[in-house]
Amino acid sequence: MENLTRTQIILLVLLVSFVTSLATGIVTVTLVNQAPQPITHTLGKVIEKTIERVVPGESQPVSVQPPVVISPEEAIVKIVQNVSSAVVSVVASKDIPVIEKYYINPFGDDPLFQIPQYRQKGTEKKDVSSGTGFFVSSDGLIVTNKHVVEDTAAEYTVIMNDGRKINAKVLARDPFQDIAILKVEGEKFNFISLGNSDQLKIGQSVVAIGNALGEFQNTVSVGIISGLNRNITATGGLSGPEYLQGLIQTDAAINSGNSGGPLINLSGQAIGINTAMAQGAENIGFALPINIAKRDIEDAKQYGQIKYPYLGIRYQAVTSAIKDQKKLSFDYGLFLVKGSNREPAVAKDSPAEKAGLKEGDIIMEYNGTKILNTSIFVSLLSKSRVGDKVGLKIWRDSKEMEIQIILEERPGNL
């Protein structure tokens, strides 16, 4: 250092300063690149950004808007706004006797002896029950529960979301499901499109809309699908208890009066018909899968009534005992047997007889689906329509066979 000239010392200082500045710049750029990006959205809210890109041949940048994302709350509000006018209250009214109270005196005019008596003094029309329904077509078809409109002596009126009252005709009542189809005169009604209830998942968000307690029209509740394929015995209808299979369980509130209303997914589609609630429990409600109702809706459109498909067989589920007895390699299917009063296993002139089914046959599959229990068979048959050709795989004489069968309408005496 002592031998360095003044000029050399100045050059050395400048060199050290340059190297230090260069190193500082490199470190700074590295830290900036590694820093986290600004947060552009928070939970439940999305901030839209305009992205600029330069298109070759154009002097100005083009703005590209990304897809708009909305929160679950906003989605539910939009769904309710879109479908509320398609949900109606269904009110039953009847001519009810007017009872008059009067007094008689068996002892003449003595005012101390007045015995009350009652007599009818004409009738007056009164609302006797109410439920919910929803439009499934623009020309006035409405779906509801059968128990909402099961009184054949009553007249039915639907009350629109805007307060209008329209007379309704009961087109059909499903003899085996809690489903009924109504028709009102008019056109261009708002309606709810139907989803696919076979694709539902537990935990999926749903919205229930209905005439809660018969008083609070278009009440909205939100929840999730809590369970699938539930079987219950529903009470409260005029016809007594009803066994319902394959129901959707939800924790969305389903109160008295909600029966017949839609259970809706976040795409705004009806995936169920609100049907029952568990007494003595909280947040346990049940809905019929909408796919069960699709056949009824199509029948009502085509025939003006519901035609139920029919095979004409008596059966019992294959059990482990039957498997051992018949030396079967499988433990599922329907074993065709005589009834408890020796009724034939295959009804005379039925579709099953025409297709060649016999007592002792075991139906293993229905249109390629294994019949693991009787509920599966009932569900498959209920989704079929009169006139459908279905394929059955059967077991006869220790071998499999394929049979084609054309479904007919169930006779009225069954």
Annotated catalytic residue: which of 147, 174, 197, 350? 147
Q: Bridge-partner residues for 370, per DSSP? A: 365
Mapped onto helix, strand or coil, the DSSP state of residue 184 is strand
The residue with tokens 């002592």 is 2
DSSP string spanning 222-291?
Answer: EEEEEEEEEEEEE--STT--EEEEEEEEE-S---TT-TT-EEE-TTS-EEEEEEEE-TT-SS-EEEEEHH
Active site residue 41: no
Mapped onto helix, strand or coil, the DSSP state of residue 307 is coil
Q: Which phi and psi (to 5°) does residue 76 adopt?
A: -65, -45
- 86 Cβ neighbours under 8 A, 6+ residues apart: 134, 135, 189, 190, 191, 192
List of long-range contacts for 18-26, beta carbons under 8 Å, 24+ apart? none
- 328 Cβ neighbours under 8 A, 6+ residues apart: 318, 322, 362, 395
Mapped onto helix, strand or coil, the DSSP state of residue 341 is coil
**How buried is 169 (Cβ within 10 angstroms: 0-12 exposed, 13-18 middle, 19+ buried)?**
middle
> Using an 8 Å Cβ cutoff, are 249 and 236 in contact?
no
Question: What is the C-alpha to C-alpha distance for residues 230 and 200, in angstroms, rounded to an integer?
Answer: 13
> Using an 8 Å Cβ cutoff, are 142 and 136 in contact?
yes
Active site residue 198: no
- 391 Cβ neighbours under 8 A, 6+ residues apart: 365, 366, 367, 368, 402, 403, 404, 405
Neighbours of 397 (CB within 10 A): 7
Neighbours of 188 (CB within 10 A): 8
Annotated catalytic residue: which of 89, 130, 178, 226? 178
Q: Is beta strand 334-336 parallel, antiparallel or unpaired with respect to 41-42?
A: unpaired
The residue with tokens 């590295």 is 30
Active site residue 259: yes
Annotated catalytic residue: which of 221, 226, 259, 382? 259
Active-site residue set: 147, 178, 259
